[in-house]
Structure 1
Amino acid sequence: MNSSPSQVILALLTVALLSGRASASGSFQSEPATESPVATTAQPTIRRAEPNFKKMDDYRQNGVAGPYYPERAARMGLQGGAALECLLLANGALTKCRVLVEKPPGSGFGDASLKMAESRWMTAKPTIAEGHPLAEETVDVLVPFVFRKP
């Protein structure tokens, strides 16, 4: 089975995101958890949103990142990605985003993903409930950066 670079990057980001969430929530522990007299609240389920990207022929070699592909990474032919947690609005805007994972670390892909969301280069489709989009929801967004040399 041949996987595209984007598929490989998305798989790596998914694993990193899930392991980060698991360790943050304490779901996967090597030692048995001790009982606590205080009730805990369940973490809300966060939906994975599929991002939509603007397309411009001038940036075809930069894949979905378009003009937001970090310059240094493009010069090096570096590929990777970022996982964001964002507030998705009914109009598809991704706001209040924060970087959860950046692969490889220090590549600039996390900051570039934040700029893509802020500028609305990247949007997502909101959940439809009872025929209407939700006013807002927290979502995870995986952003692949795959450079195609011209």
Structure 2
Amino acid sequence: MAITDILFLAAVATVGSEPPLPPDIPPNAVFYTQEDVKRYRFPKPYLPPEAKAAKVDADAVVACEVNTNGRMKRCAVVIENPPGMGFGKAGGYPVFEEC
């Protein structure tokens, strides 16, 4: 058996046998490429008035559903650090304003 035959057999053995998804990713999850993401509209950056007045930097994680038109809906604040400065709401602005 030649080296090319061994490589071919190895390639055939791996076709269709994708590794399983990590347990926290649902099996019906949809994955997007960088080209797909370019067509979605993202909100402009927004600094909460509370944080601007206090000259505070912070971060937030906001989870949103995105429809096929690229509009975000049903957003929820997952993490806000430091809490109470409005960064969670700012992460979803203006989506939260529309809801």
Q: TM-score, normalised by structure 2?
A: 0.52
User: What 5-or-longer segments of structure 2 have no aligned partner?
Assistant: 1-21
* Gapped regions of structure 1 (runs ≥ 5): 1-26, 28-40, 55-63, 121-150
Q: Which has the higher contact order (CA 8 A, sep 6+)?
A: 1
Higher strand share: 1
Match of 1:108 among 86, 89, 92: 86
- Structure 2 matches for 1:22-61, cutoff 5 A? 43-44=25-26, 52-54=42-44
Aligned partners of 2:31 and 2:81: how far apart in 1? 21
Runs of 4+ aligned structure 1 residues displaced above 3 Å come to: 45-51
The answer to whether residue 79 in structure 2 is matched with residue 89 in structure 1 is no
- The letter of the residue matching 2:43 is F
Counterparts in 2 of 1:102-141, with a 5 A limit? 102-119=80-97
Aligned length: 69
Aligned residues: percent identity? 26
Asked if the contact 2:51–2:57 (Cα under 8 Å) also holds between the matched residues in 1, the reply is yes
**SS of the residue 2:77 aligns to:** strand
CA RMSD of aligned residues (A): 3.1
- Name the CA shift for 1:42/1:84 in 2 (closer, same or farther; >3 Å): closer
Q: Secondary structure at the match of 2:66?
A: strand
3-state DSSP of counterpart to 1:92: coil
Which residue of the partner structure matches residue 74 of structure 1? 52
C-alpha distance 47-79 of structure 1, shift in aligned 2 (>3 A): farther
